[in-house]
Structure 1
Amino acid sequence: MDVVKDMRLPGLHFHDLRHTGNIRAAMSGAGLKDLMARTGHDNARAAMIYQRAIRGAGKLITEAIDKHFMGPWRTACTYMTHHPGVETPHPRAVRDHEGWTAPLREQEDLGMGTSIHGFVECRTWTRGLDIGDSAWCAAISLSMLGVHRDYGAFDCLFGVRSSGNWRPIAADRGLPQGASETAKAELAQWGEAAFGATWLSWEEVAAIDWDEPALHPTNLAQYRQLPDQTLELVHRSVWSRRFARVSGVDTLTVDPGQVALWDEGTEWKAGNTVFRVERATRRQVVPPEGYWHAVWTVMRTLAQVHGDDAVRLVAWFEE
């Protein structure tokens, strides 16, 4: 092309621009799922090329962490310098229209972190088997169902990134007997990066007590007391300067994890505002209409066809 000649780069091809763009996307912190969408690949292997290309880029990683965690804090400090009297947030807090809050479930959107991979499997007849025989087959991948990173669920269901607040349902069981060839091959591609391989049957999912509370207090909820004395939830989890003024707890220096040391039901009141120490339930951490809704729906549907004992989730994690 004339442009290439003018640039004195005779070895440059148009595809090199695509490759460079995808490398830059990976360097910006894009996750595997985002890279797959950007590149148009329908499997992880090709997109992983770009992630592997930037492994070891410690400086970029450090800058990304700093920007993610300290950026809001610096913005808040700048704002408060020019607006005296504004409530001071905890560095781990986020701001919405109600003020600064510490979310019950911390979702990280950086390319770094812990992600889940795997498949919903069902046991059925497939090509190559004798009539009447069956084998475990990969029905659909978790990435296809939109599940990528959900630390609350990882902790509650699988004991990964454990907070010590939950009795996990299926922690580190390894691959199940007769795992599908698709699942085994995909896991092998991750090599040493993969950990925590496990499985969870539909029978177990159906038997989960979603109203079971955490083993310890997990969050400080904020309520508004209405004229009829009932309480209206404002924030499921909060760690604000307003709470600091009411309780005497310095929310700038005391970590929200302090909640675990208080008795469940402990309350602080100021006017019509009530702060209460609570234990989250599995339902709140893994809401029925949340990330896992599609997974449970697929498993339930397959169980109706193949039987409750013939459907399971096979998964592993990587960081």
Structure 2
Amino acid sequence: MGTDIAGGVEIRPHGPASPWLLADVDLDDLPRHYDAFGLLFGVRNYAGFDPVAPGRGLPGDASPELRKLQLTDDEHDHTWVTWTELSRIDWDAPAPRVDDRIHKYEGTRFVGKSGFGADWQAVAGESADPRGSSYPEGTEWRSGDRIWRVERLTQSDVLRTDPQLATLFDTMRNLANQHGPDNVRLVVWFDS
């Protein structure tokens, strides 16, 4: 079973003395993107990022509208992050370690991450460890036009592969321009 994200964007329209309100920002379009989950919140952090805002819990001053969005007991890893924190991300920074998932290519075309399939196992050997972090960066296995490679992601790889997240960040940036960067936050939780 996979892990999905839910939550909302909150604003304090009248500054720090005012209560948080749920903004009209739809998170339903955010895909299941483990690299983003890992970078921002430390959830499914296969890429090995230093997360920006892991494990903070649901804010005690969360808006009543946001609290109503929680529907099940299966939700976990509640946390939040302000626009101030998001705006300070160094998008050029590499992850501290290589990705646990082995990256697969057909020729020069990226196909996906994991490498756990029988085709990789046949090339790498039965005793090969399917975790990319077990090997030095740049390790490759080749078979015909297929290449499996151990790689390290940069934080910009997250936005480059997730246009919905980039759109969410643009929306939060616009809200921060109106209300101040400390008065805009993303509150999320996960469901597995």
Q: TM-score, normalized by length of structure 1?
A: 0.50
Aligned length: 188
Contact 1:152 1:286 in 2 (8 A): no
Q: Is the 8 A contact 1:221 1:278 kept in 2?
A: no
Give the deviation of 1:134 after TM superposition.
2.2
Match of 1:307 in 2: 180
Shift of 1:312: 0.7
Q: Which residue of 1 aligns with 2:97?
A: 216
Match of 1:135 in 2: 19
Indicate if the aligned counterparts of 1:202 and 1:309 stay in contact, CA closer than 8 A.
yes
SS at match of 2:177: helix
- TM-score, normalization by structure 2: 0.77
Distance 1:114 1:275 in 2: 25
Q: CA deviation at 1:143?
A: 3.3
Q: Which moved more, 1:270-279 or 1:149-158?
A: 270-279
Residue in 1 that maps onto 2:158: 285
Contact in 1 for aligned 2:95/2:152 (Cα 8 Å): yes
Range that drifts further, 285-294 or 168-177? 285-294
- Displacement of 1:222 in angstroms is 4.7
Q: Quick one: distance in 2 between partners of 1:265 and 1:171?
A: 29
Conservation of the 8 A alpha-carbon contact between 1:170 and 1:198: yes
Q: Percent identical across equivalent pairs?
A: 35
Cα deviation digits, residues 57-92 of structure 1 (max 9, x gap): xxxxxxxxxxxxxxxxxxxxxxxxxxxxxxxxxxxx
1:133–1:198: structure 2 CA closer, same or farther, 3 Å change rule? Answer: closer
**Conserved 8 A contact 1:202-1:303:** yes
Greater per-residue helix proportion: 1
Q: Which has the higher contact order (CA 8 A, sep 6+)?
A: 2
Name the one with the larger strand percent: 2
- 1:179-190 superposed matches below 5 A: 179-187=62-70, 189-190=71-72
**Cα distance change, pair 266–297 in 1 and its aligned pair in 2 (3 A):** same
Q: Secondary structure at the residue paired with 1:140?
A: coil
Amino acid paired to 2:86: V
Q: Which moved more, 1:233-242 or 1:114-123?
A: 233-242
Q: Alpha-carbon deviations, 1:209-262, whole Å to 9, x = none?
A: 1222223222346596xxxxxxxx4326574888778xx513x774532x2121
Write the distance in 1 (CA, Å) between the matches of 2:161 and 2:106.
23
Distance across 1 between alignment mates of 2:119 and 2:76: 41
